[in-house]
Structure 1
Amino acid sequence: MKILQIIRELESFAPLAYQESYDNAGLITGNAQWECTGALCTLDATLEVLMEAKEKKANLVVAHHPIVFKGLTKITGKNYVEEAIIYAIKNDIAIYAIHTNLDNVWGGVNSVIAEKIGLVNCCILQPKTSILTKLITFVPTPQLAQVQEALFAAGAGHIGEYSETSFRSEGIGTFRGSELSNPTIGTPGIRESVAETRLEVILPSYLELQVVAALKAAHPYEEVAYDLVPLRNANRRVGSGIVGQLPSPMEEKAFFSHISQVFGLKLVKHTPFLGKNLKKVALCGGAGSFLIRDAIAAGADCYISADIKYHEFFRRRQKAGSCRYWALGK
């Protein structure tokens, strides 16, 4: 199996298009065309991890955090990042990072944390906007099914838990081809009127090229008429954080013990207890201070984050109101 095949599987679940603008997910070192001799999964692609990969004859390391986060201007081995990159290149080890794109997709990092806690009725806390596109095209009615199926197969038509979604309306299309045209229907130089169906589907914006290619391949016309309309709608399956409900209310200290046991924690930092039961819980698997307002707006009784800066912790402690504020740690 080539490394490329593994990357395709990873990106089919967590597309690179869903990483944050500051991130550096994807293939960092190595060649996707290499045959994979073994893969090692890790939180960080440190030098020690790369040495372990070499020992185990694995030439692919899949890490959550990108070892190269900002641009490198020199690679001299003066710090742990440069040491790791030099070692990976010298030993033909590919490093692939799957970071905020894995955080942001439904079923990713935040979803798994929510599942371990036992939350139900979950949804994305801060859904991403402007990552959807509407495709509108016009198809001769007899060929509608083949075009529609091609669009669905290319990734169009997904809305939340629903697939193969579309809208159709009937109408009449007109056209007149030039003498150089080769129309599927009609004769060059003569205006034609054809019963057509207007077909509309929604697709992830990063799939535009793929879906349009499928449309052109399946459509019978020499010139295919279509519109791509960017949407500002929130994508409820992609975004930051998760909010959900506990199956039954829990007293604060009992919940404290529950998450400590679930994640094997020796330490949980938190703002003072408010003496109320918890029902609705919001969370973020990474540094999550940017989602505190969203947690409060969602009516969460408690907000959990993996990392919070010192001053953010105490500043928000003053403003959180009825929302308790927790930071998890070892």
Structure 2
Amino acid sequence: MKIQDILSIFRDLAPEENQSSWDNSGVQVAGSVDRTDKVGVALEPTPAALCRCLEWGADAVITHHPLYMKPKAPDTEGMYLDALRAVIRSGSWLYAAHTSLDTRPGGPAFWLGKELGLTGGRLLEVEHGRAPVEASFYCEEPITREAADIWANHDGVHSVSQSRTGEVRVVCDEPHWRGLADKIEFSLGKRPLFYLRSLTAPVREVGFGEAGELPEPMAFDAFMGKLSGLIRRDALLVAGPKPETVRTVAYCGGSGSSLIERASHAGADVFVTGDMKYHPAVETPICVVDVGHFSLEEEMMRRFAQELDEALPEAEVRFFPGEDPFTVYTS
């Protein structure tokens, strides 16, 4: 399968335009191979994880965390240089789907809400809000039903119509417009003169974390038991006032302690996240459960690998489990 086709699928499932301004989602290392039939998936681009992918034969590797946030000179021994050496030596491609994946509506970053059966889901933090564009052009002949169906089934398309005067109007989410324009050109055999205007509604929001309601209220201990089973950890850190009953749950993978106030304003009885720090734990107005940075995101990438496997029928996709850098020590 062509590498560029694989990269297109990566970008479809983790749109780069949705990433945060500080992030570095996208190609980390441009490889020299142009085709592959194996794609490796891992949470971290550590030398150990990358070498497992490369030894298996993956010429395309996608991780959640980027290899670097800002351009960095390969002039110091360490994990960064070791990772570069491994990937460049193999000629493979390294890609990161970081906040581009975290913010995809209904994507694998929201797996915990699905498993808990949350309803009424709303974002904790909106990263981008975009309205669609309306494209219009004139076509002397009526567009065929086949062509209209092809355009209407393109990702991000809201509507396709043609007036009696021959004006065709298409409403499409802005990130998908370029691909749709290419489809229209292919169908018509020429590229028409498009007139574009931005609409004010509906606004499509993408962002981090979610709050929602459980199907039925649960006693706190029962909720914690269910959460432990989903996270697959026996010990969880808890801060703040413990509610007797849990109805509204908020969660955010990774380092989500900055969203405590947003979770509280969303009415959450419990906020599930990772990397909880001391002072936010002391000051939290609601119950916070720290399940660790690793737990939520490792499962997210396992599920993402399953999505990629379905989206890449001409390539074999394998998830390479990581290792939580924290272990519990008992004397």
User: Would you say same fold, with TM above 0.5?
Assistant: yes
After the TM superposition, which residues 191-202 of structure 1 pair with which residues of structure 2 at under 5 Å, given as runs? 195-197=165-167, 199-202=169-172
Aligned partner of 1:254: which letter? A
1:60 corresponds to which residue?
60
Query: Of 270, 293, 303, which aligns to 2:271?
Result: 303
CA–CA distance in structure 2, aligned partners of residues 217 and 9 of structure 1: 21
TM-score, normalised to structure 2, is 0.75
1:229 corresponds to which residue?
198
2:175 corresponds to which residue?
206
Higher RCO structure, 1 or 2 (CA under 8 Å, sep 6+):
2
Larger radius of gyration: 1
1:132 corresponds to which residue?
131
CA–CA distance in structure 2, aligned partners of residues 213 and 54 of structure 1: 35
Query: Of 216, 226, 244, which aligns to 1:258?
Result: 226
Q: Is the alpha carbon distance of 1:71 and 1:230 closer, same or farther for their aligned partners in structure 2, counting shifts above 3 Å?
A: farther
Q: Does 1:26 align with 2:26?
A: yes
CA–CA distance in structure 1, aligned partners of residues 217 and 188 of structure 2: 55
1:46 corresponds to which residue?
46
CA–CA distance in structure 1, aligned partners of residues 41 and 187 of structure 2: 40
* Cα contact 2:184–2:191 (8 A) shared by 1: no
Deviation, structure 1 residue 141 = 8.3
CA–CA distance in structure 1, aligned partners of residues 131 and 86 of structure 2: 40
User: Any idea what the Cα deviations from partners look like across 1:165-191, whole Å, max 9, x if unmatched?
Assistant: 3577x58xxxxxxxxxxxxxxxxxxxx
Q: Is the alpha carbon distance of 1:24 and 1:129 closer, same or farther for their aligned partners in structure 2, counting shifts above 3 Å?
A: closer
1:326 corresponds to which residue?
289
SS at match of 1:31: coil
Deviation, structure 1 residue 230 = 5.6
* Cα contact 2:160–2:168 (8 A) shared by 1: no
Deviation, structure 1 residue 229 = 1.0
Deviation, structure 1 residue 46 = 0.8
1:161 corresponds to which residue?
none
Q: Is the alpha carbon distance of 1:302 and 1:88 closer, same or farther for their aligned partners in structure 2, counting shifts above 3 Å?
A: same
Aligned partner of 1:2: which letter? K
* Cα contact 1:133–1:229 (8 A) shared by 2: yes
Could you say which structure has the higher strand fraction? 1
Q: Gaps (5+ residues) in structure 2? A: 293-325, 327-331
Identity of aligned residues (%): 23
* Cα contact 2:23–2:69 (8 A) shared by 1: yes
Deviation, structure 1 residue 232 = 7.2
Deviation, structure 1 residue 284 = 0.7
* Cα contact 1:129–1:233 (8 A) shared by 2: no
After the TM superposition, which residues 1-330 of structure 1 pair with which residues of structure 2 at under 5 Å, given as runs? 1-31=1-31, 33-36=33-36, 38-72=38-72, 74-139=73-138, 143=142, 148-149=148-149, 151-158=151-158, 165=159, 195-197=165-167, 199-203=169-173, 205-215=174-184, 224=193, 226-229=195-198, 231=200, 234-236=203-205, 238-315=206-283, 317=284, 320=285, 323-329=286-292
Aligned residue pair count:
292
CA–CA distance in structure 1, aligned partners of residues 279 and 126 of structure 2: 26
* Cα contact 2:119–2:213 (8 A) shared by 1: yes
TM-score, normalised to structure 1, is 0.75
Aligned partner of 1:285: which letter? G
Aligned partner of 1:112: which letter? W
Q: Gaps (5+ residues) in structure 1? A: 159-164, 172-194
CA–CA distance in structure 2, aligned partners of residues 9 and 17 of structure 1: 14
